[in-house]
Chains A and B, each alone.
Chain A
Amino acid sequence: LAKTTQPISMDSYEGQEVNITCSHNNIATNDYITWYQQFPSQGPRFIIQGYKTKVTNEVASLFIPADRKSSTLSLPRVSLSDTAVYYCLVGGPKGDTGRRALTFGSGTRLQVQP
């Protein structure tokens, strides 16, 4: 399974855009890139997933360069409620084949200040 590397922690202020970059140098051809968010005493929550280029949903954008060896989660105009741990994961091919379980790293602790 591809290993991911992301910053241990980041600080930001309300209203700013936050970009969290994840390195995954040995990502496989059929691996997807997925980000999860986790608040204290809760289970992780899916944020966004992509394979290449750019993906955007109502809460975040995911930028993936052509070589796919890294990805950047972008959170626009963060608020205090975005304070959480963010995990970057790779793997899990579509369909019913392949390993289904998720492999989490240590994540990035984002602290949003007022």
Chain B
Amino acid sequence: DTGVSQDPRHKITKRGQNVTFRCDPISEHNRLYWYRQTLGQGPEFLTYFQNEAQLEKSRLLSDRFSAERPKGSFSTLEIQRTEQGDSAMYLCASSPSRTSGSSNEQFFGPGTRLTVL
């Protein structure tokens, strides 16, 4: 396992379409996070899973956004009826349950860049 992977790396869609992104965390990491990043800004937290339980959601996660982690392994993030304002980089990160030294160390994937036309 070489790290967190995300698929696709790039997605171009038309406004109003639905899109789904996938994240595969590092094996045995039971914590998984989704972030969104727009140009020139730092990543913004969207939602957090511990195993299959979604424990926290940001106000940024509108009703059009839904995330799942059905078996506590990979996760999907779906955006329904996409809008131009949804254009951003969507980052996934994972971390182990217990971190011996670094409580804030999260391992990020390369991201999925979404462009909504």
A residues contacting B by CB (< 8 A) are 32, 34, 41-46, 49, 85, 87, 89, 91-96, 99-107
Contact = CB atoms under 8 A, between A and B. Distances in A.
Nearest to A93: B103
A45 B108 CA distance: 7
B48 A100 contact: yes
B31 interface: yes
A77 B107 CA distance: 26
Interface residues of B, number: 34
A34 B102 contact: yes
Interface of B: 4, 31, 33, 35, 40-45, 48, 50, 55-56, 58, 91-93, 95, 97-99, 101-111, 113
Contacts of B31: 100
A45 to B, nearest CB: 7
Given A43-B111, A92-B103, A101 B48 contact: yes
Contacts, number: 74
Contacts of B92: 43
Given A42-B111, A44-B108, A106-B40, A101 B102 contact: no
Given A91-B104, A102-B43, A96 B98 contact: yes
- Majority secondary structure of chain A interface residues (helix, strand, loop or mixed): loop
A64 B101 CA distance: 17
Contacts of A99: 56
A92 B102 CA distance: 10
B103 A95 contact: yes
Contacts of B105: 34, 46, 49
